[in-house]
Amino acid sequence: MKPLARLAGVTLLGLVAALPARAESLADTLVAAYRHSALVEQNRAVLRAADEDVAASVAALRPIVQWVASHDIDKSEGEPTGRSTSLYLSASLTLYDFGRSQLAIDGAKEQVLATRQALVSIEQDVLLNAAIAYFDVREAIQQVALQQNSVEVLSRERQAAQDRFDVGEITVTDVALADAQLAETRASLASANGQLEIAREGYLAATGKLPGTLSAPPPLPKLPANVDAARGIAQRTHPAVLQSQRQAAAAEISVAAAAAERNPTLSGTASVGVIRSPLSRLNGNDGSTNTSAVGLELSQTIYSGGRLSASHRRAMAERDQARSSLLNTARQVSQNVGETWANIDVARAQITAITQQISAAQQAYDGVREEALLGARTTLDVLDAEQSLLEARADRITAESNLQLAHYQLLSAMGLLTVENLKLGIPTYDPSQYYNAVRNAPATSKQGESLDRVLRAIGRN
């Protein structure tokens, strides 16, 4: 490498090292949580298992081909021992079952759609937990900074009290009050630092990494016109409601499938085989007999001890359960929307009131402090005014954090806290990709090769 090129490289590395690390935004936090979550991966696997139930139901309509090998020993009194060995290749196919197989396929498809909505619910939970971790860390950092500033102010107050005591303006009691207030604020600082460490651990659990410098949160998400509009959106889009709807539909299909179990089944069979018996040689052949057979079989259960009736009643009970669950879920979602909407109103009102409180507390503190310098107020009055101002500022930090978080909680309550709706700009899991690869129950074929490619792609994600 030429000296000039080496110098340019060293200079470039120095510039890169000197650049400050980019602050992590809320979007960065949400993306990290989505990519890191083992819970999302777990439920993707659950969804793929549900996809395979469709494949299994489709396979029930296809021929079953199997081989059977057997060796029999027959002993009768007065007769020589007979031995025979047989090998069969048989095939069977359900020709008509009065819709039972199709009902099984339809029910499995509804369960797939329900499981997809369950995956969306998990995605919402993961993103909401990440948002909570993000706002917890920011609030904890602000609380630590506030307490550190308070310690610095009180340290100066304590020194001022000591100076006034040295010249005889105040008593030792005033100095002790300043010492006590400073010690209390230091304890609050230690507690704030502890809360920051707890928040950092929560961030690590949610995203897989410790937080760096967090940037200011983005503008608050736009809300519907009113709470009724928010409830309407939730009933149409919340994954818990959609999941319950699919489960209710699957339960309806299960009732029809249980009733269809009483219907006949028409099957076709075919087999070819060879039987080899030593006794056959005594009759002049080589001991082998080739066999083949085809047939139709029509069967219907006449009596099962009440099993079919019990299964039908059970399916109807589960259908009623699914309907009630849908109603209950819709009510819970509506309640959650109302509660989070109220939390937003409360946080806004708190911020307005606390801002006014801070303004008044600041004015009171400045006035009390000036009056104390003139001897009209005691050190205790100054410390009380300073503590009131500190508490008001801490309350505003909490209220502002609550307001920001409440907006994302409302998005979650409406079913809109997803990677797609938030426009995070990252590739998301496509549940239809695996389903399309397995829905026709591929075995070893070009379809199977396509499935292998899908599985490798999922592994890379």
User: Can you give the CATH number for the domain in which 222 is found?
Assistant: 1.20.1600.10
Task: Give yes or no for a contact between 315 and 258, defined as CB atoms under 8 angstroms apart.
Answer: yes
If asked whether residues 125 and 33 sit together in one domain, one would say yes
User: Does residue 2 lie within any of the structural domains?
Assistant: no
Please report, in tens digits, the pLDDT of each residue of the chain (461 residues total): 444 444 444 443 443 344 445 788 999 999 999 999 999 999 999 999 999 999 999 988 888 889 989 888 887 776 777 788 889 898 988 888 888 899 999 999 999 999 999 999 999 999 999 999 999 999 999 999 988 988 988 888 888 888 888 888 778 888 898 889 889 889 999 999 999 999 999 999 999 999 989 898 899 899 899 999 999 999 999 999 999 999 999 999 999 999 998 999 999 989 898 888 765 555 555 667 888 889 998 888 888 889 899 999 999 999 999 999 999 999 999 999 999 999 999 999 999 999 898 899 888 888 888 887 777 777 778 778 888 888 888 888 889 999 999 999 999 999 999 999 999 989 888 898 888 888 888 875 455 566 566 566 655 44
User: Does residue 369 lie within any of the structural domains?
Assistant: yes
If asked whether residues 68 and 171 sit together in one domain, one would say no
The neighbouring-strand residues paired with 91 are 65, 270
Task: Give yes or no for a contact between 388 and 363, defined as CB atoms under 8 angstroms apart.
Answer: no
Please state the pTM of the whole predicted model: 0.83
If asked whether residues 200 and 81 sit together in one domain, one would say no
Q: Judging by DSSP bridges, how do beta strands 82-96 and 288-299 pair with one another?
A: unpaired
If asked whether residues 347 and 291 sit together in one domain, one would say no
If asked whether residues 106 and 212 sit together in one domain, one would say yes
Q: CA torsion angle for 204, 206, 209, 215 (degrees, to 10)?
A: -100
Write the single-letter amino acid at 411. Answer: L
If asked whether residues 366 and 401 sit together in one domain, one would say yes
User: Does residue 92 lie within any of the structural domains?
Assistant: yes
If asked whether residues 236 and 341 sit together in one domain, one would say yes
Range of the domain at 292: 63-96+267-299
If asked whether residues 441 and 418 sit together in one domain, one would say no
If asked whether residues 280 and 194 sit together in one domain, one would say no
Say which CATH number the domain at 272 has: 2.20.200.10
User: Does residue 12 lie within any of the structural domains?
Assistant: no
The number of folded domains in the chain is 3
User: Does residue 11 lie within any of the structural domains?
Assistant: no
What number of other Cβ atoms are within 10 A of residue 360's Cβ?
A: 13
Three-class SS state of 224:
coil
The neighbouring-strand residues paired with 64 are 92
User: Does residue 13 lie within any of the structural domains?
Assistant: no
Separation between Cα atoms, residue 26 and residue 136, nearest integer Å: 12
Write the single-letter amino acid at 316. Answer: M
Query: How many C-alpha atoms does 102 have within 13 Å on its Cβ side?
Result: 5
The contacts of residue 131 (CB under 8 Å, 6+ apart) are 26, 29, 30, 405, 408, 417
Q: What is the pLDDT of residue 18?
A: 43
User: Does residue 274 lie within any of the structural domains?
Assistant: yes
If asked whether residues 293 and 437 sit together in one domain, one would say no
If asked whether residues 114 and 164 sit together in one domain, one would say yes
If asked whether residues 419 and 285 sit together in one domain, one would say no
User: Does residue 338 lie within any of the structural domains?
Assistant: yes
